[in-house]
Structure 1
């Protein structure tokens, strides 16, 4: 496929992925595609081939008469998808940006749609490959993919007929990958994190998009994003487990899901029963930005003494939290990594577990602590903490330890209410090698469960 290429630097994602206007009364009329009339036009390429031809970071104009077809699996019917439709064929799915309101009346779910791509553009918007009508180069630092203008709908979009909706693809946490971008998927054995239950899906007052954590019962997190403009923004999230259907996406390394309406959410079972202990919290650091200071929602990464912070590192395709005083040239280092708050009032038999691994051990220490009076915002060293007995990897003085070490199941059952768990590293890197304590520690798969 001969295409024109233009290198694009993706804009930093600011605010809500799908914005909406406060006033929608002045809706422009646009030329509609011929609906349900059939067409002699035939697709000559697949959606998967578009992904295969795309060069990451580029915007590409279609000039060779490419035509795709597929079934519409998402639209703006309930205002959670803004000025977009999602088209899926047997190979893949892609989002099409359209500059119009009330799209669902003319592009309903289940419609087979032909898209004449000649003259349109393909590029990245919010990190996702999408189809648009043009590009905006007014900002010399960025090139933006713009939606297809309303007067061009009838030229490029041909409604063929109504068909059965494709069945969502059943996938597990570990099967989620970029080949599923924009696909209709079903995630089973999943539930909202306790902190995200009984919360409104979106923010209908301030019209803000809200992300809620969805936890797989066997471990792993996906974030459900809901627009504050959606018709169901004020509805509260359920507390049970079950299955959820939605359009899968990724922003950076964060795995995300968007639903069409609350019928996509079928969480009516007891929380994770029959699948082992109920997972109250799980973090494997796979969604964190690699090779950077660790930053995750509601976590605190703070230095009590010195300027050492926990980092995100990877080894053998696995990400984890890492810390070492090596190279700091500081005499006294104390660094804290504090988990988000955990509510224990409604659970019993809670246990904490994690994995650790050490390297070049020369005496630095890593502890795991618990507090019932830390507010989650201030300096943790000013709160009261209790040391928890855990197995830590240690003694690998000549290099990296041979394997990850399990902490064991650390009981939290004597605690109630809101608690915080923290890792505290103590080390130094000043003076002759004999007095330095700059052991490197890795931490992964932090999990809190209940019976």
Structure 2
């Protein structure tokens, strides 16, 4: 028994030695290099497939990659993220909340496009999951539902380098849609300084005018739910970083946070634009016929005038042919005479809303031979190219539409500017043109 016992011990010793000698060092985990997926098209190439005011379902196995440059961290980008690659940017509509936790700014993501839809909202190209056609007159791009996020979006590495493109207002172009840009040499218009970025009480979006020391402008738009809505706009001059957007013909900048605002310099000097005329109707008596000092409010046909109306504490001009039972309703709201002989690069700006639009027309005209009398239609008037609100057929527009910068530079001498409304309200139920138009914040600037 002793021999056998010793034999077992001797056999065990080499085995233990072998086990000890076979131990390997613990391997370090491999460095994370991102998901095993590759983009096969660019964002710019994808957007080239879109036809304005249409919706396209993507049927091919296309994949784009991009870095998140905006999300819902401050609630100014509602249920959406914005990504960009080296060629372009695009907005993804996502039906979820707190997206910033999963898609922080600086994260690279890959988007599998097959089965998704591409459309545009007032010209801004977006990606979604389908099209809601319940209202044939106003189809809407559907957001990608949260259960599909992981299937459609592949998360990549975080803290990727983001560099905004530095541009001036004059360099803004459609190719910059949904891209992170830094607008240089800008300041808020004097009337928009020291104002809340948005209406935090009523949760209403607000657009503020950004200008240069020349004549270019763009609108900084902020939603009423933004966490910085109640913060006040700065008074200095400098640069602002944000996402470039458009709404129809309006150029807009969407702010991610007030930390992207750097207006520390001196405002434009005496050589910059000066306000030559301003009217916001704040001094008008509500529900009364408008009276502008040295201006005119004239009815050409039909018993109707431009009226002062008030909503949410804001007073504006309003005109409509509704309930007049007139075959023709033509009205003129004429601004005081403006002398353009001692200025240059003049521009006109204003805002409009429409309601129950069925085809009545609001035009902006100017005349250099109107005598200021009771018959403006006897003078020669020329049309100004302005953006006028339209298309709100089932109610009143929610947002004010900016006219854009309307150049008066080619006009010399003393000039009258007029808003001319033309509609009707015949007894017959067909052929009515009774659209309601609202006008506010009329301004003329020049150097």
Tell me the TM-score range normalised by the shorter chain.
0.5 to 0.7
Cα 1:282–1:79, aligned 2, differ >3 Å: closer, same or farther? farther
The Cα offsets for residues 50-108 of structure 1, whole Å up to 9 and x where unpaired, read as 11111222211112111000110000001110000001000000000000000001100
Q: Is the 8 A contact 1:354 1:406 kept in 2?
A: no
Per-residue CA deviation, residues 197-252 of structure 1 (Å, 9 max, x unaligned), is 11000111011111111111111111111111111111000111111111111111
Provide the residue aligned with 2:137 in structure 1: 141
Q: 1:249 to 1:144 in 2, by over 3 A?
A: same
Q: Distance in 1 between matches of 2:104 and 2:276?
A: 38
Quote the residue 1:175 is aligned against.
171
* 2:115 aligned counterpart, secondary structure: coil
CA RMSD after TM alignment: 3.7
Question: Normalization by structure 2: what TM-score?
Answer: 0.59
Partner SS state of residue 156, structure 2: strand
What secondary structure does 1:191 align onto? Answer: strand
Deviation per residue, 1:261-281 (Å, 9 max, x gap): 0011111111124xx613244
The whole-number CA distance in structure 2 between the counterparts of 1:195 and 1:61 is 44
For structure 2, the 5+ residue unaligned runs are 1-31, 278-294, 302-330, 348-366, 375-381, 383-407, 420-442
Taking structure 1 as reference, are residues 353 and 267 closer, same or farther at Cα in structure 2, changes over 3 Å only? same
**Computing the radius of gyration over CA atoms, which structure comes out larger, 1 or 2?**
2
Match of 2:65 among 69, 79, 83: 69
Deviation at 1:174, TM superposition (A): 2.2
> Within 2, Cα distance between the matches of 1:302 and 1:121?
51
Report if aligned partners of 2:64, 2:111 keep a CA contact under 8 Å in 1.
yes
Distance in 1 between residues matched to 2:198 and 2:332, nearest whole Å? 39
1:337-385 superposed Cα distances (whole Å, 9 cap, x missing partner): 4699xxxxxxxxxx744569xxxxxx96158x9xxxxxxxxxx99xxxx
Partner of 1:430: none
Match of 2:235 in 1: 239
Distance 2:344 2:137 in 1: 46
Mapped to 2, the partners of 1:141 and 1:252 lie a distance apart of 17
Deviation at 1:141, TM superposition (A): 2.9
> After TM superposition, what 4+ stretches of structure 1 lie above 6 angstroms from structure 2?
none
Q: Note the 1:213-292 alignment, pairs <5 A.
A: 213-273=209-269, 277-281=271-275
What is the TM-score of this pair, normalised by structure 1? 0.59
- Contact conserved, 1:353 with 1:447, CA < 8 A, in 2? no
Q: Distance in 2 between matches of 1:189 and 1:89?
A: 26
Question: Secondary structure of 1:256's partner?
Answer: strand
| Cα separation, 1, equivalents of 2:80 and 2:337 | 37
Equivalences, count: 298
For the residues of structure 2 that align with 1:79 and 1:302, how far apart are their CA atoms? 44
Q: In the alignment, is residue 162 of structure 1 matched against residue 158 of structure 2? A: yes
Separation in 2, partners of 1:213, 1:136: 33
Which runs of 5 or more structure 1 residues have no equivalent in the other structure?
A: 1-35, 284-300, 308-332, 341-350, 357-362, 370-379, 382-392, 394-402, 411-420, 426-444
Contact 1:135 1:145 in 2 (8 A): yes
Q: Does the residue aligned with 1:138 lie in a helix, a strand or coil?
A: coil
